[in-house]
Structure formats: structure tokens, C-alpha cells
Structure 1
Amino acid sequence: MSSSFLWRHRASHRWRHGLWPIGHVVALFLLNGCSDAAPTHHDERRVEQEQRPGPVYRAVIQRTQHGIPHITAPTLGSAGFGQGYALAEDHACTLADQILKVHGERAKYLGEGPRRVHVVSDFAYRLLNLTGRAEETFAKQPPVAREVLEGYAAGFNRYLTNTGVQNVPGYCKGQPWVRPITAKELFAYHINLALTGSASRLIAAIGLAQPPGQPATAMPDPAEATARVREREIGSNGWAIGASRSKSGLGMLLSNPHFPWEGELRLWESHLTVPGELDVYGATLIGFPGVMLGFNRDVAWTHTFSAGYRFTGYALRLVRGHPTHYMYGNEERAMTEHPFTIAVRQPDGSVKDESRTYYTTHYGPVLSLPSGLPGEPFVWNTESAIAYRDANWDNTSFTAQFQGMDRARSLEEFQSVFASVQGTGWINTMATDRDGHTWYTDASATPNLHANALARLERDLADPTTVSGKAFAAFQIIVLDGSDPSNEWVEEDGARAPGLVPYARLPQLSRNDFVFNANDSHWLANPAEPLVGYSFLHGFERRPQSPRTRMNVKYLTEIAENGASGADGKFTLEELKATVLSNRSLTSEMLLPQVVDRCRGKATGHHGGQVVDITQACTLLSQWNGRFDLDSVGAVVWREFMGAYTGDALVGGGDLFATPFDPAHPIATPHTLKPAPAEGDDPLLDKLAQAVQTLKAANVPLDAPLGNVQFIVRGKRKQRFGLHGSNGREGTTNVMTYGTANNSSAEDRYSVRGAPINAATGLSAEGYVVNYGSSFILAMEYAPNGGVRANALLTYGETGDQDARNFTSQTELFLAKRWRKVLFSPADIAADPGLTTQVIEQ
């Protein structure tokens, strides 16, 4: 038995029995090879460490209740080492699979996959060549980023050495593809994360692209290849509360990212401390070092997925008889060939090679986007093809961006990281500091088109007969005329890479009351000071806002005894917590009384040529409190009633609202239920009849409590959890829904939904199956004594080990709306009854 293991066991025993205070552990940690008493610059400490004998890396990992790791280390590299080790304890399989993915080797070990998904993915990643890009650019990374990457990879590898691949929990146990990783491989995965809003959505479209007449690497259902392209965003709510709106007069933060509950895009919570240099708490994506959203002692921040556009497609006019040549202005250009051969594991265990040749243009790769439209205009044919250019193709700054944010000691320093690194990729950021200054920016990488090109594009997007209009209607993507050189991106000083909008011209707003975002554009980060005049590639201005955005603003601006911030309009921590999980619905608060008045006393409506009894549905709505809680009866009726209307009607007016959207009053409109016609059937009653018929088709009783119908299945034991919240269409902030954004993880899925009966609401024969929504929920405030008060929930829990005792513990807390205290101070960590401690070194 190793001395390291013995120390770990004894330390854990002593911690559990309260025999050592935190200071003794830190002292022992320092005596074991890190004797620097005074904080010095991390580079100086690293040089000193390299000059003296002893381990290169050393970290203390303390886990508190629910498995939250608190990692203390003498250097940033050792902090990365500890974090990589702790992450591997929870999610070794997921990170190992992602390294396999970026290498383009899934099919070699996992077979072709359902509908040949691994084959398609492998070819696409070979073309993207992320590992080659990482090799070329790793040495150019800032020293801090390299140090952390090297430490993180070493920590992951130390876990594999200590545990043994045969003992790694999860679906990868004993698999040959679970192996040590290098810092450059980890960096390649981070480049892939930077492409979440672009290439990651297009993997199938890249892998399917073959010239006409060539054998296609096709799936039986081509529409499945474009599911992620159509899915515009991962949702979230983020608030930064300033001095004038907080009870304490200090900064507050509400973080509510809506991310997958399965797969590689899960968030993972941790606390990192390097004495004198770093003390940061929050969540990050699996395999990504540091904290992506959270707080340190001076700045707190959160993110939402940007509504802007991270790539532009280009419609190519091909040369007759030469489908790999295209016209650019008056010249003919040849595409560049990229032949690849991948290995594909066969059912009998043998491996067979498969070869394809892919093509790129000067814009980037060619795509295949089955749309279902006549003639399939976005599938490569003899006359046309679609290529694309990626705004994050050159983003090798993703790692350095968050490392800089984590160490910022003021809001000004935090902002300077955005100005100098420009690596955020695809997110809005809302930040506050201790003194209650708030800041919003959408610093996402955005194509910089000339004003004339933007004007043409805006006109074409509105015309359904143009290629641009068809692509926008089908996929919500931007496609330009690739034969016109004036549609090229414009180079401008101050941008991270040629052709991007420079930092100085990105949407930004500073306030002392609040800034927020809920996945609509930058326009109304604070409605009192709209951000206008920006390229619509950042997101559209003066457009209808989602019900969820409007609910966020209602919470932030209502000042009433029963309002989110009370009669004084000053938020407390308890009010923030109560608000985000209140499950109030904007549509029900606006329309429910009017709908009940219209249906009361009416017995029937019409749908599908049938007369439908709506009496029970109307009665249930009259008794419903308008919230989407576990025990809410009537919520499913309202959800399907809203689901009978189009998305355009919910945001713009249409056949639902009497007063349509007005850009001069973007939060107040649309409003007021459209009145019944003077003669004939009432369409509102027919919509209610449609809701009744839809629920009956799914065998859902009209009086079913929401928690009986909306659920997630967790773990290999297939444990079912009823969930509160809604899908956002109804205007709730606590989103629970089903999506495809997590479908690139090889085996990490267990919530499977059949074909939806109502695609708008997600209702299927199983009910409302959930696989993503509210994830790392954080409510925090800076305290007058210089400390931090915070509560959090990681709804799906810290670990991917389905046999772990705490696998579903936080899901149970979430269902009960029981927040846990964030343990940030050494005293709070030391007092935790579930504390365990281990020292790891190398």
C-alpha cells in the first residue's frame, strides 16, 4: 500500500472525525514540498519548483457533501492537476470519449454506430484536423494556459494510473480507448468546445458532403443529420444585479444555464484555490480547466448562449461538368481534395478500412444539408453546393480566455481579458463586482460583413424565393452568394482574427441596476438602455422577444409586495432563489383569466373534424394557479393549449393576441387576448379542443399533475424523476425540455423520447421526456464583511458514475427546491460533515 494512499486514508479519517482544522491540512500540504510562505508570481514559483527536488505537481482535493471538489494547490499547474484528477474521478469516460472524437477514431473502437453516426463524425473531424491545429498552436499559448493544460492532463493520467482502466466506473471500464492523454490532445478538445456554436452543429453536414456521383456516407434518415443545425441554441437565464437593486448595495448574480443533463455538455462544479493568486468557485464543461461561470472574491459572472451567428454559409455556383470547381467573381476555382481513410470496427471485432475524399473551398468545408425542400437546394448537386466559413475556426484562445477571467481582481481587469484575448466564442456574459457595478457583453466571434453586403443579406432573408431566404427558413442559418467577392468578411484592426468584428465594436453595456440575457439578442440587456445599431449577425434588434425573455424582465422590473424583489425593489439572496424556481409563467399571467372567461360555460370546440368536450379542460384551467410545479394540475392543459399556437403567434401576436408586438414597447407587447369573432366558431375554443385531443392521443389524463407527465430517466437503473418547470414557450425561466445538443457523446445517454405527438411542446407517447434544462443554478451575493454568500444546485449531480451514492442526490434537492449552501470559506469547508480529503502528487 503506497504512502500516498495511507496519508489520504488517514487524512480522510481525521477530517471526518473533526480532528484537524483546515489550517493543519494546508500546513501539512506546504511542508510536503511547498514551503513558499509569501505569495509570489506563479511563473517565479514554477521556476523555484523546477529547481528543487520533489513532485512536479501536488494538490489537496477536499470533497464536501454531494461530491463537490475543493482543490488547493501551490501553483496554477498543480491546481489544473488536481482538477483533472477530480474530474476523472467523476467523468473519465466522457472526457476519454471526447478525445477519441476529436481524433476521428470512434468508429475504430465503437463500430459504425447507430445510423453510421461514428463514421460520419470521424470523417468530419479528420477534415477539421483539430489535433493538427492544436499541435501547431500549442506553443503559442500564454504560459499560464500551457501550464494549466499540462497539469490537467497529468491529473487525468494520474487518476488512470492510480485506478487502472479496468476499474474506471462507467461504460468505458476496461476499454482500450481509455488511455493517458496529452496536453495537446486536451487543447484540441478545447478548440472543439470553441466551435460549439458552429462546426459542432455541422459535424453531420460536413461528414455527409460528397460530390454528385460519389458514394455517400449517408444515414437512413438524412433529416437527422440536420437536427442540430436547426436547433438554434442552448438556452439560459443570466442576471447581474447592481448596487441600486440589491438589498446590501453590493453585487449579486443569478446563473441559470439550460444545458444537457447527459453527454459532454454537462456542467461540473468545483472550487480552485492557489494561495495569493486564485480563489474561484463555479462550474465548467467536462474536461475544461478552471471555472467558466461562477465567482471569485471580486467578480462574479455567468453566460448565456448568444443569439448571433458564428458562421456564414456560401452558396457556390459550380462549373458545368466539374462539380468540384466553382465560380468566384469571373474566375474558376478548384476545390481542394482531402482524402481520408478511417478504421471501422465490425460486429465480429475485426477492423475494416473505409475511405472518402472530402473537399474544401477558400471559405471552408463543403456541407450537405438535407432540408426536405423540393430539389434539396442545400445538398451538393451538379449545379450548386454550400460551403461555410467559421468565425471560431481560428479560436485557439478559448482556454486562455477563462483562465484570465478566473484570476481577475476587479471588473476592469475582467473586461481587459475580453479586450486582449477575445476568446469567448459563442456566449453572452453578465458580470458584477463586489461594489455592485454590472457589465454585459456579447463578445462572441462574429463575421464582419460590409454594410452593403449586410443590406443585401437582410433583404434576401425576408424573401422566401432566394437561397438565403430558404436557408434561413429551413435552418435559421445565414447563407450568402459565394460567387460574389463583396460577400467576403472584412478585415479590420483590433479583431482576434481576420474577418471578425473587433472588440471595440461588440455590444457592451455597463449599469448599476442590472443587466441580463435569456437568449434573445443583445438589444435589451437592460430595456432602459437598448443596445442598437449593431450588425444583425450579433442578433436581431427591434424584433419580438420570447416569453421567457419577457418573464425575466418582469421579474427584474416588477416592484410590488408579491413581486420578485418585493415592495422595496431591492433583491435579497432569498428572493433570487425563490424567483428562479418559482415556475411562474408569463403567458398564464397575461392570458389565463381571459381564457377561462371565454371557455366558461362553453361545452365544446372543434378539432380534426370532431366535436370535442372542453368542459373539464376549462374547469381545470379555472382552478390552476398558473405555475408549473410538480403538483400543478391544469399545467399540461395550458402547455398543450399554448402548443396549439405557432411560435410566431406567441411572440408576435397573430391569432392569439389582440395587440401585436410593437418595437417601441418590446416587453409589454404583444398583449391582450384576441377577441372572439362576432359570428361562427370561436377559434380559441377550437385550440382548447386541440389541446384536449393531443393529450388524449398521448394517453395523458387532463387532470394529471405535471410531475406525473414531465420527467427524466436517470442512470442504468432507469430511475424516473418527475420534474417541475416548462419548455420556455409558456414563459417560465426554469426550462425543462428535450433536445439534440448533447447527441455527440457516444454512450452517455439514457433518456430516449419517441416521436413527438406535438413537436411544439415535446409531448410524446411517454409524456414530456426531458434531457436538458436548468443545470448549474447559482444565486450569490457579496457580503459586507468581505465574504460571499451563495447557494447552488447542480440538478443532475456532480458525477457520471451511476453507482455512486450521490448520483441523484442533487436531483432530489432540485425537485424539492432545496438549495445547498456553497462552501467557499475554509471554515465552512472544514465544518462540512461529509468532508473527505486526499493529497495527490506526481
Structure 2
Amino acid sequence: MSPVTANPVVNNYKGDTMQTWNNRAARMARGITLVLLGSTLLTACFDGSSSSSESSQSELDTNLFPADGQLEATIRRTEGGVPHIKADNLKSAAFGHGYAQGQDNVCMLAEAVVKARSERAKYFGPGPDDINIINDFSFKAQKILSGAETEFPALSDESRALIEGFAAGYNKYVAETDPADLPAECRSQPWVKEISPIDLLAHYRIVGQYASGALFATGALFVAVPPGESPNPLPVISATGGELEGFFKQVALNARSNASEIEDFQDMGLASNAWGVGSDLTENGKGALLANPHFPYTGHRRLYQVQMTVPGYLNAMGAGLLGTAVPLINFNENLGWSHTVTTSRRFTLYELTLKDGDDLVYVKEGEEKPITSETFQIEVFDGSPNPVVLEKTFYYSEYGPMVSANAITDGGLPSWGASGTAYTYRDANASTTRLLDTWLQMSRASTLAEFQDVFRSCGSTLWTNSTYADDQGNAFYIDSSSVPNLSDATLAVIQFKRQASPAYNQLFEGGLTLLDGDTSRDDWVEGECDGLVPYEDKPKLLRTDWVQNSNDSYWSTNPDQFLTGYSPMFGPEESALGPRTRLGISMLQNPMSSGAVSPTAPLPAGQDGKFGALDLINVIYNNRAWYADQFLQELRDRCTTIGATPVNIPGGGSRSVDQACGVLQSWDGLYNVDSVGAHVFRVFIANYRKSFGSDLTIAFDPEDPVETPSTPSSNNAGTADDIMLQALAVGLNALDQVNIAYDADLGAVQYYQPSGGALPGLAGGSLSGGTPTDLGASFPWHGGDGSIDGTFNAIGVVSDLFLEDTRFPRVAPSTIDDTGGLSATSGEGWRMARGTSWHFGLEFTDNGPEAYGLISYSQSTDFESPFFNDQSLRYSEKSFRPILFKAEDVEANLLPQGEMTISN
């Protein structure tokens, strides 16, 4: 679908969108018989009434639970469909939150629970290349659901209130909704049903392991078997004529292939920018915050905005991943924070030394230790009336599940037993008992000391940094992720091995920290945080000017005060920075500069050189690009020199570049929708960046990390063999291949187009699933690829055939290499599906917090909702909205029919 370039129609709604939404909600009750209290899906403990553990309390905490067991919440919706939830206790507030998320994203939440329960193959069939079978078994082996069952009784009252309340709210929505009225992705499907709090906690366990165990759930666990044992699952009840018969033996081959595809075990496919600005650089001497997560626009990692208020206990505005009962990137009356994915490591790999002659025993400190096993079963729909039951055995050491190191290194490490070794791993985020406690305590903090106390008490944000600002003018950064606490001796051995062995160093650089399992030296130091690095040893920095992170090392949080001397498990020090980090620091260091080639760009801090909320949202929207600042003028000069003379293309042939050079001469250097030439520069830099190592003449200098490396070589400058001009020529060939004009506005070739509308499988009883389609309008999309274009406002193309983390099909482009994701379909351009998501600029004032921002892809995944793409239009037009926080502002800006009170 070609992108629209002006005045896109948002859905097909006319008139009062909230009334339309309420009319649909009213239809949902048609023909429904409410679930009986005796439903086998929910125990009495989870039906919204007081649980047995509540009733056993000598004194009920009424901030957390209703004294009479009656849950009640008021949901007020303002522009964009943002729910502001108010309740008398935390469980009721979570109840309202679960209900609101059910209204907006029921299919995504239902599919997440199917995944967490290892039931994808049961409902959706084997999946492409048997991925559902592989996932289901792997999540069982990682104890996703059974671990949640074990952990639930150990949860704090706060976590229990949140999880029980959210599940009860979601269940209320499901019970009240006619299955035929659900969105197309899950309409009338048996897997959309009420859930237990344990199901929700199991989903959190997957979220917690996105940067660790989840990396092994695509195949590395599945093929980890001792010598002589087949990794293929076996049918417990034979298939009878179904599609599964005859090919389940290929599952292991697919698992092995999947495991070998991961090249970097630290790359989650997520990114973000965050600034904490202190009193020295703000307009009113208080703190300010820029929050700019770059997350997928689809699937379970979408962010959902909500305000949760329990008078006298909690008042937080923010957004969290779908299904999280409390928002995660938040602010309250006194402070706020954002998250960025860290460079830290969240698991360690162990090499076990096997006992001679016994591949199920390893030796540690001279003591023999067993490798234990556990057998699991899953159901698989194969098209026949009865599902096939498959069975498979998985293996464990004292550290955790066994993995096939041979598969994940594509033969770099030996297979189980081949060299008298086997491999296993320990996961820093295997437990989620404190997950919600951390964010709730952060949300309730009112001072820097209280915020820091959350991490002094071993709180963790799993796989993210936290960047903070407050009303006292503090700017604070901490790597608040879960990081294995290794002894000094172990760290010294790691450093020695990296220097002595290129192969070991290659593993380490790829995110695999390989330790010796035959010595207790390499065990984690348990200490106060159960094997994780404690607060005092985490990288952190407090300033009154600024702190920042854009996914590079903690080391360069502020170059005026480098952070050094920390465990290498947190990431490298004195390492080159990415272009987003370099541009971000440059704007903080030069708040009154529009950059080298973009005189029309807004000044980062405005005319006064001091940051406020509006300045910070406009920093995101200024769409500057680091590589344009660095290389555009040089490229222009070389264009002038060569003129119409053809450029030699590496590999053969030649072509002129003068037409594109003319466009670049007048490009404003920005990635706005009306910028002409941005896409030409993209295909140039996507090729030239491969030559940085050989062509840039000034090497990286840790004393000057922002301005280095830099400066292209003058060799062959302006000639047919100019490396820069050759990169441009190659890029132009790609544009020509798909008929993209050089002088097109960026918004005519770069856009956001929602898609989906299809079941994840079993459409019409088949195994193929539905056919996804484009949904609603497309929108010209500003911003650029953070790694390729070097833009701060980072967005990007996704070519995967499924919505992130789900089995929902999506319309996905086939892309051309070295173009930043240019579609291979003629005229289609760049179809963006990740990047700037929940984003805002915040400042604290004498009258409380003031913030502006959006969720770029909107609140709802339901195409029939008025909140499906309303904010997408606003993002396209740079029409950010105020983030309403005060009760009087919420009341004054309610949507028509925008208030409802729900109870159990």
C-alpha cells in the first residue's frame, strides 16, 4: 500500500468517536451468560474477592486490598483513549487497569497467556518451521508456568494486589464480551478466556527473560541432549492422518537452525534515548526528563499509557508493556524516569566437565554432581479431531537448563560429550518475585533517596538502565538491570582468557560469558542480592547538569565525569559510541546549536539555552542526524568536484550521480516528512558506513568520544574511485531498482502502515492461519534509522512475518540489503514498524509536573477502536498532546461518555 501524503482519514470514524466506542461496548454484552463463580478457570482465590492469604492477615492493608473484598474502579478516558484510573486500593486500581487494557488489546493479552502456558501448538498448530512446538517445550523446560506457580505464594502483598486485580479486570472484560464481538485477530476463539494471576505472572517471567532465557527458547534448549539420544519429541498418542504425522521428526532440525541464527546475545532488537536534565540547565531550576523508548509498534512489547491513582498511596502516570499491572516509564508529582536497554549481561554460560564414561554426571571441585532430567508433554493441533500429544525430556545442572553450545555457536563449541564437556546457563532474571515491587516502589518514591532505596533493596528493572529527574533539580543515572555478581578472581580469569584466546574473546564480544563449571570460583557471589550485583557496585551518576543514555555503555553517561572501574558484566569502558549517543551528547553540550548542516532545525534548548518540557519533546522531533552533521558537507563537496563524470561501481559498471547530488545540495539535513533528499542520504550512508573502519582517518579517542572517529580519507576524493561517491552510486542503484525518485519528500516514501486482522492459526480449521491485510490509513512518518541514518528520533523497518513476540501474521516487506530496509516492491519505500513509541518531554514546575508527548502507534490494537490510530496521525503531524496528570485537568478534558465505574 502506498503511503498517503496528506490529510489521512483516521479509520472510518465520523462524529463522536467515544460514543462509537461505547456503542460497541454495549453490543459486547449481547447473549452473554456471565461466568459462574464455580468456573474451573478461576479459583475462589482469584475471582476478585479477598483471597485466603488476605483473610488470614491479622490486619488488612486497605491501601492494597478492599476491606469487603469488593473491587471498584473509575476509568476516565481523555484524548487518545488514555485511561486515568482511580480506586480506593491498589487491587481495585489494577482491576480497572486490566479492564481498560482488555478493552483496547484483548487479543494481544490473550495470545501472551497462550504463549506463557505453552499452548501455542495446542491452539495454533506446529507453526512455521515448528516454532510453536519448539517454544512450548522450551518454555516448559524453563519453568515459565510452573515457576510462576511456585513463586506466586512468595509474592509480596503489593505484587499480589496488582496481579490479582489486573487479572480480575481482564477477566471481567472477557466475561462481558460476546466472543463474536472480539477483534478479528481472536474473534470467537477458544483461547480467549479468563486467566488466573499465575498465568499473568508466567507472562512476566517471559518478559523478564527477553534478554536472557528467551534467547534460548527458539532452539538451544530443545536440541540439548546427551550423546545417543535423539532431540526429537515423541508422540504419546500417535497422530492419525493429521498434518503433523510424518514430519514431527524434523522439529529438531528446525530448532538447531533457529539456535544458530542468533549472532549477538546482547541484542534485543530494542533501543531508547533518555535524558535527565538537572537544575543547571532547566528553565526553572528544577529537573526535566526526555523519555524516548524505541520499541516495536506491534505485539507484546507495545507500550500502553495509563494513570493509576489510589489517594494517599499512589499517583503515577506512565506506560508499561502490555499486561504489566503497573506502568514502567513513569512520573509522579515529584520525580520521573525513563528506561534504556543496557549493555549489561543477564546470564552466564557454564562449561561442565563430565565424568569419564558418564555423560549425565559432571565433576565440580572433585565432587560428582548429577545432570537431572524432567519430561514434559504438550498438545499439538494437526488438523485432526484430536490433538497429538508430544513428549520430550530436558536436562538440568545446578545452574539451570542445559543448552546446546554447539548449536548457538554454529559449531564453535563442541556438542554434549564430544570433548568431555557439556553446557548449561544461569539466568539473572529467572525469578520475577520482585518485578512489580520495583516499579511500584519507584512510582511511590517522592525523593531521590527513596528512589535510590528501591535499588539499595535489590530492586531490578531486568534489562534496562534508569535515567531520572526530580523537582529538586537532580539528574540521576543507574544501570538498574539484573547483572550476575562475579568474584574478582573470576573477572580476572575472564580478562586473561579474552587476551589469550581470540576464540574466547569472540564469544564474549557476542554476548556469551563462558565460565568454568568445575570450580566454585566461578559461581555467582550470592551476597545481599542473591547472586546479583548490589547497589553500591552498580554504575551510577548524580549530576545537576545532565545525564543521558542511548544504549551505549554507562561509561559515557556524561563525558565530564566518565564512569570507570565497574565489572565488565555491565559492558565496555572507553568504547566507541553509537551515532544516537554522539548526537544526544552533542545537543546537551551545545544546547543553542542547530548542528553543522541543519540551520532550520529547532535549537535543542531554545533561545534561552535552558531546557523545558516543550524543548525536550522538540529535541525528539527535530529529526537531526549525526551522520548528516559529519558527512553531508564533505559528500556535497565531492559531488561538486565530480559533476557528471561517471563513478566506478565496485564489482563492475559505472554511473553518474549528479542528479542525486543536486538533491543533496538542497537537502535540509533533517528527517522530516517534507525533507527532500533524506532517503538519498540513507542509501548512501547505509553503504558508506561499511567503510568507516578503513576510510576514516581519525580513530576513536576515549578522551573525545563524541567527535571521534571522524574525517573521511582524501584518497581519490572527487574521482570515479571515491569511496564516498561509490557508496552513493550503489545506493542510487537500489532506488532505481524500485522506482523511488531522488527528489521525493521523505513522507512520500517513508510511512507507518498498521496491518494484521488475521488469526494466529487455524483459520477455518486449517493450520495456515489467516491472511493479514493493511488496516486503515497509512501515515507519513518522520525520523530515521538510529544506527544507519544516525538520527536521534530512531525508527526502523521490521521484515518479520509476525507481530513482535506473537503468532499474529502481519504484512511485512521483503527488503534490499544495505538500504535501511527499503522494500524490494516497486514504489513501496520504507515501511516503518518500530522506534519512537511512548515518548514525552517533562519538566517539574511550582505547579507540579508538566509534560507533552504521544504513543506514536496509539493505544489500541483493535482496528474497530477509535484509539487504533488517532495518535499515529498526531505523530505524523508532530501534534503532540499534553500529558494530563492533575485531577482537575483530567476532569476538564474527559472524552464524551468517557467515564465509567466498574466493580466485580
Normalised TM-score (structure 1):
0.88
Supply the AA of the counterpart residue of 2:782.
H
Letter in 2 for 1:152: F
Residue number in structure 1 paired with 2:786 = 728
Rounded Cα–Cα distance in structure 1 between residues aligned with 2:861 and 2:452: 34
TM-superposed deviation, 1:395 = 3.8
Distance 1:564 1:637 in 2: 26
Moved more, 588-597 or 312-321: 312-321
Which residue identity does 1:557 align to in structure 2? Q
Per the alignment, residue 585 of structure 2 pairs with 553
Structure 1 segment 252-291 matched on structure 2, within 5 A: 252-291=288-327
**CA separation in 2, counterparts of 1:138 and 1:215?**
32
The change in CA–CA distance for 1:164 and 1:71 in structure 2 (over 3 A counts) is: same
Q: Identify the residue that residue 571 of structure 2 maps to in structure 1.
A: 539
CA contact (8 A) 1:228 1:740 kept: no
Q: 1:163 to 1:372 in 2, by over 3 A?
A: closer
Residue 515 of structure 1 deviates from its aligned partner by 1.2
Rounded Cα–Cα distance in structure 1 between residues aligned with 2:380 and 2:410:
34
For structure 1, list consecutive stretches of 5 or more residues without a partner in the other structure: 1-7, 14-41
Shift in Å at residue 133 of structure 1? Answer: 2.1
Verify the 8 A CA contact 1:60 1:82 in the aligned structure 2.
yes
Question: What SS does structure 2 have at the residue aligned with 1:348?
Answer: coil
**Is 1:571 the counterpart of 2:611 in the alignment?**
yes
Distance 1:714 1:441 in 2: 35
Q: Which amino acid aligns with 2:791?
A: T
Amino acid of the residue matched to residue 799 of structure 1? S
Q: 1:323-350: per-residue Cα shift (whole Å, max 9, x none)?
A: 5444545555442112111110112343
The verdict on how the C-alpha distance between 1:779 and 1:471 changes in structure 2, with shifts beyond 3 A counting, is same
Name the counterpart of 2:328: 292
In structure 2, the residue matched to 1:84 is 98
Retained in 2: the 8 A contact 1:202–1:228?
no
Select which of 749, 752, 757 maps to 1:712: 752
Correspondence for 2:715 among 676, 680, 684: 676
- Letter in structure 1 aligned against 2:556: L
Q: Which residue of 1 aligns with 2:244?
A: none
Relative to structure 1, the CA distance from residue 433 to residue 274 in structure 2 (aligned partners, 3 Å threshold; closer, same or farther) is: same
How do 1:757-768 residues align onto structure 2 when only pairs under 5 Å count?
Answer: 757-758=816-817, 761-766=820-825, 767-768=829-830
Q: How far off is 1:831 after superposition?
A: 2.2
The Cα shift of 1:294 comes to 1.7
Kindly, what percent of the aligned residue pairs are identical? Answer: 33
* Cα distance change of structure 1 residues 472 and 708 upon mapping to structure 2, 3 Å threshold: farther
Contact 2:223/2:231 (8 A) holds in 1: no
2:796 is the counterpart of 1:737: yes
What is the CA distance between 1:485 and its match in structure 2? 4.3
Is the 2:458–2:534 Cα contact (8 Å) retained in structure 1?
A: no
Question: Secondary structure, in 3 states, of the residue corresponding to 1:294?
Answer: strand
1:221-260 aligned within 5 A? 222-225=256-259, 227=261, 230=264, 232-233=267-268, 234-260=270-296
Q: Within 2, Cα distance between the matches of 1:274 and 1:731? A: 42
| In structure 1, C-alpha distance between the alignment counterparts of 2:500 and 2:675, rounded to whole Å | 43
Residue pairs, 1:522-533, within 5 angstroms:
522-533=554-565
Cα offset, 1:441, TM superposition:
0.5
- Map 1:542-691 onto structure 2 (within 5 A): 542-560=574-592, 562=594, 563-602=603-642, 603=645, 604-646=647-689, 650=692, 654-677=693-716, 681-691=721-731
Once the two structures are TM-superposed, the CA of residue 488 in structure 1 deviates from its matched residue by: 2.5
Q: Which amino acid aligns with 1:746?
A: T
Where 2:171 maps in the other structure, the secondary structure is: helix
Q: Aligned pair in 2 of structure 1 residues 144, 333: CA closer, same or farther (>3 Å)?
A: closer
Equivalent residue for 2:439, pick from 389, 393, 402: 402
Secondary structure, counterpart of 1:124 in structure 2 = helix
Partner of 2:505: 469
- The letter for the 2-side match of 1:398 is L
Question: Are the structure 2 counterparts of residues 586 and 43 from structure 1 closer, same or farther at C-alpha, using a change threshold of 3 Å?
Answer: farther
- The answer to whether 1:791 aligns with 2:852 is yes
Post-superposition Cα deviations, 1:187-227, rounded to whole Å, max 9, x if no partner, equal 22223222222112221122343445514433648554455
Distance 1:607 1:814 in 2: 40
Q: Provide the secondary structure at the position in 1 that maps to 2:276.
A: strand
* Higher mean C-alpha deviation, range 252-261 or range 589-598: 589-598
Distance in 2 between residues matched to 1:48 and 1:343, nearest whole Å: 38
| CA displacement, residues 416-436 of structure 1 (integer Å, 9 cap, x when unaligned) | 112114232111001111121
Asked if residue 152 in structure 1 is aligned to residue 166 in structure 2, the reply is yes
2:189 aligned with 1:128: no
Equivalent pairs counted in the alignment come to 792
Secondary structure in structure 2 of the residue aligned to 1:641:
helix
Q: Does 1:781 align with 2:781?
A: no
Q: CA RMSD in A?
A: 2.8
Deviation digits for residues 475-530 of structure 1 (CA, Å, limit 9, x no counterpart): 433233444543332233x32x1x22112111111111111110011112122111
Instruction: Tell me: CA distance 1:48–1:207, structure 2 relative to 1, closer, same or farther (3 Å).
Output: closer
In structure 1, the residue matched to 2:885 is 824
Match of 1:30 in 2: none
Give the distance between the partners of 1:687 and 1:745, measured in 2 at CA: 35
Q: 2:813 aligns with which of 748, 753, 758?
A: 753
**Residues 588-640 of structure 1: CA distance to partner in whole angstroms, max 9, x if unpaired?**
11221112112323122322222232222322222212111223222222222
The CA distance in 2 between the partners of 1:222 and 1:737, in whole Å, is: 29
Structure 2 regions of 5+ residues with no counterpart? 1-17, 24-58, 233-250, 595-602, 758-772
Structure 1 residues 459 and 587, CA, compared in 2 at 3 Å: closer, same or farther?
farther
User: What does the per-residue CA deviation read over 1:5-44, in whole Å, with 9 as the maximum and x for residues that have no partner?
Assistant: xxx99x999xxxxxxxxxxxxxxxxxxxxxxxxxxxx954
Q: Secondary structure at the match of 2:830?
A: strand
TM-score of the superposition, structure 2-length normalised? 0.83
> Whole-Å Cα distance in 2 between the matches of residues 720 and 630 of structure 1?
13
The separation in 2 between residues aligned to 1:221 and 1:81, in whole angstroms, is: 39
| Counterpart-to-counterpart distance in 1, 2:101 and 2:709 | 46
